[in-house]
Amino acid sequence: MDLSFTDEEVAFQSEVREFLEANLSADVKDRYSRGIHFSKEAQERWQRVLNDKGWLAPNWPVEYGGTGWTATQKYIFAQEMGRASAPPPMPFGVSMVAPVIYTFGNQEQKDYYLPRILKSEDWWCQGYSEPGSGSDLASLKTKAVRDGDDYIVNGQKIWTSHAQHANLIFCLVRTDGDVKAQEGISFLLIDMNTPGITLKPIIGLDKEHTLNEVFFDDVRVPISNRIGEENKGWTYAKFLLGNERTSIARIAQSKLRCEHLREVAAAERVNGGLLQDDIDFMRKLNQIEVDLMALEYTELRMLSKIEHGETLTAEPSLLKIKGSEIQQRLTELLVESLGMYGAAYEALEVREGRNDQNFAPDYAHGPMAEHLYLRAATIYGGSNEIQRNIISKMVLGL
């Protein structure tokens, strides 16, 4: 057991820090640190910078463009990204579909899709959930029927994040309706521009458009766009969800939020003093930081297990539950720190007939919208109730 970094690791840390300082542009940093949804142009610009350095996909195997870093280096990198307010790459390509492609895809698929993800040429979205199939994902009904060299896809997906920016969607579809639900599912890669696909935006509680409904009406998809075997899609889907749950903990970002909260507490005035002198408030912040530290060391302990060749079972569910709860408590506290200015959640937005520029402090812009959006953190990626079910079944045998 040893917590310290080696000299090489310390040097690596400085290298990452210096790179981020020199290359992260102010607008990207500002949006991300406020918790405001990305702009596609800025996100793409930033991903290109990372990729030019070879750091877009540290977790991939080296042969496909990964960095070959140790778990410690990956940890250092994630921490430094968080510390610098650098947004991670969009997850749908880099950390969701890519591992499925390089693990289960054929050579042609790897050669085609992986470089395009690295170069941010493709924007992916995730077509799992359907109106009748959320937590019970395996009950999904979107159907793919063979017709020559193609599948004909009919059905509907919902809650598809950022589909409006995407040119590709990875989809779970039913290819066999006569077997156990999990056994008739296939994993398809579908071009969003194929005739028969339509999008309908869903406006969220934060008044932003991140969610969509995606409709499939006789959409022709080449059979060659299927990952792995027909009717084995559930295996690939679950593999992906496991990865999703780890990255969803967002520990580095939460650390950054803690720091931001300390800054706000040092600026907000209360009773002639500052919010940072308010014991009740600071206690809450300190409690969150302690919980976050516990989560961080839990994650490190799990990474160490992986390094030593152990396989995880339901541990990612723990990270997801604790990580999402901490995210929510942090934005809630951030809103609380603003006093009544939390209510004016579009503080800097000037909109004809709705919003004049008010006199709120600059940092009042963003927290309420983020607080609203992050209520979803305990819903998406498998709800926290479902994660608890998984732990109780797989770890505790209940």
Partner 1 sequence: MDFELSEEQVLLKDSIDRFVKDNYGPEDRIKLSQTELGFSRDHWKTMAELGWLGMAFSEEAGGFGGGAVETMIMMESMGRGLVLEPFVSTVLLGGALVAEAGNADQIEAIIPEIIEGNLMMSFGYAEAQSRFNLNDVETTASKSGDGYILNGTKAVVYHGGTADKIVISARTSGASRDADGISLFIVDSNAAGLDIRSYATVDGQRAADVRLENVTVPASALIGAEGVASPVIEKVIDGAIGAICAEAVGAMAAANEITNEYLKTRKQFGTAIGKFQVLQHRMVDMYMEAEQSKSMSDMVAMKLDLGYADDTRKAVSAAKAQIGKSAKFVGQQSVQLHGGMGMTDEYSIGHFFKRLTTIEMLFGNTDFHLNRFSNL
Ligand X SMILES: Cc1cc2nc3c(=O)[nH]c(=O)nc-3n(C[C@H](O)[C@H](O)[C@H](O)COP(=O)(O)OP(=O)(O)OC[C@H]3O[C@@H](n4cnc5c(N)ncnc54)[C@H](O)[C@@H]3O)c2cc1C
Four-residue CA torsion sign, 10, 11, 14, 16: negative
**Residue 128 interaction partner, one of partner 1, ligand X, none, beta carbon < 5-8 Å per kind:** ligand X
Return the DSSP state at 5. P
- Contact flag: residue 89 with ligand X (CB under 6 A): no
Residues within window 221-280 making contact with partner 1, judged by CB under 8 A: 268-272, 280
C-alpha 243/C-alpha 113 separation (Å) is 19
Nearer to ligand X, 159 or 363 (CB): 159
**Residue 343 interaction partner, one of partner 1, ligand X, none, beta carbon < 5-8 Å per kind:** partner 1
Binding window for partner 1 (CB under 8 A); candidates: 68-76, 120-128, 201-209, 239-247:
201-209
Helix (H, G, I), strand (E, B) or coil at 219: strand
**Residue 238 interaction partner, one of ligand X, partner 1, none, beta carbon < 5-8 Å per kind:** none
Strands 150-158 and 143-147: antiparallel
List 161, 225, 246, 337, residue binding ligand X (CB under 6 A): 161
Contacts of 116 (CB under 8 A, 6+ apart): 122
- Contact flag: residue 358 with partner 1 (CB under 8 A): yes
Contacts of 354 (CB under 8 A, 6+ apart): 346
Site string for ligand X, 372-391 (x = CB under 6 A): ----x--xx-xx-xx--x--
**Residue 325 interaction partner, one of partner 1, ligand X, none, beta carbon < 5-8 Å per kind:** none
CA separation (Å) from 8 to 171, 233, 336?
Answer: 42, 42, 42
For residue 274, give the H/E element and its range: strand 273-274
Cβ contact 59:2 at 8 Å: no
| Chain contacts with partner 1 (rule: CB under 8 A) | 129, 132-136, 139, 158-159, 202-205, 207, 211, 268-272, 280-281, 335-336, 339-347, 351, 353-361, 368, 371-373, 375-376, 378-380, 383, 385, 388
| Chain contacts with ligand X (rule: CB under 6 A) | 125-129, 134-135, 159-161, 211, 376, 379-380, 382-383, 385-386, 389
